[in-house]
Amino acid sequence: MSIGHYETLFANAAAAGVHHLPHGPLDKLLAGAKAAGCLVLHVDLAAARNKEEMLGAVAKGLRFPQWFGHNWDALSDSLLDMGWLPATGYVVILEHCDGIHGRAEGDFVALMQVLQEAAETWREDGVPFWCLVDMQADGIAWLPTVAQPD
């Protein structure tokens, strides 16, 4: 797996969206994202047990402004205006998702949908917005996995 592969991938706004995080070492993936000019942000969902805690973890990981409203509309608005974190592109890594997926599946799926909508909107401006979902179990069937080199 080469850094160049990931650099090309993460620079491609047309391919961006919500994907499963590949299993295994992430050093080349992270280096490729940074080489593509993407700001890499980590959201730790290990302690999240409900929607409120999940949105709090997202706000902390994405360094949202103090005025973030902790609801779906505020999340969407904040994701579409990342002016406090200007970058060529974004790679958001949602870590430890199995617990919240099991405890509040509907809210977790809603989060995936808001993130996918943000990626689609950023795509119109040519900005890659990736969300990589770390799940150890079977994951979510409809989420693709980030393409890895052969």
- pLDDT of 150 reads 52
DSSP conformation class of 17: S
| Cβ 119 vs Cβ 18: under 8 Å | yes
Two tokens, residue 36: 């593509």
For residue 89, report the phi and psi dihedrals to the nearest 5 degrees: -165, 175
Give the SS3 label for residue 46. coil
Residue 137's nearest CA partner among 93, 104, 101 is 101
In this structure, how many other beta carbons lie within 10 angstroms of the beta carbon of residue 89? 21
Distance CA 127, CA 107 (A): 26
- pLDDT of 121 reads 97
- pLDDT of 1 reads 57
- pLDDT of 83 reads 85
Give the SS3 label for residue 126. coil
- pLDDT of 53 reads 97
- pLDDT of 109 reads 94
pLDDT in tens, the chain (150 residues): 589 999 999 999 999 999 999 888 899 999 999 999 999 999 999 999 999 999 999 999 999 998 899 999 999 999 999 888 999 999 999 999 999 999 999 999 999 999 999 999 999 999 999 999 998 766 676 677 776 655
- pLDDT of 141 reads 66
Two tokens, residue 143: 């989420």
Two tokens, residue 114: 């808001």
Residue 101's nearest CA partner among 146, 17, 45 is 45
- Residues 25, 106, 104, 102: what is their CA dihedral angle, to the nearest 10 degrees? -50
- pLDDT of 24 reads 84
pTM score, whole prediction? 0.92
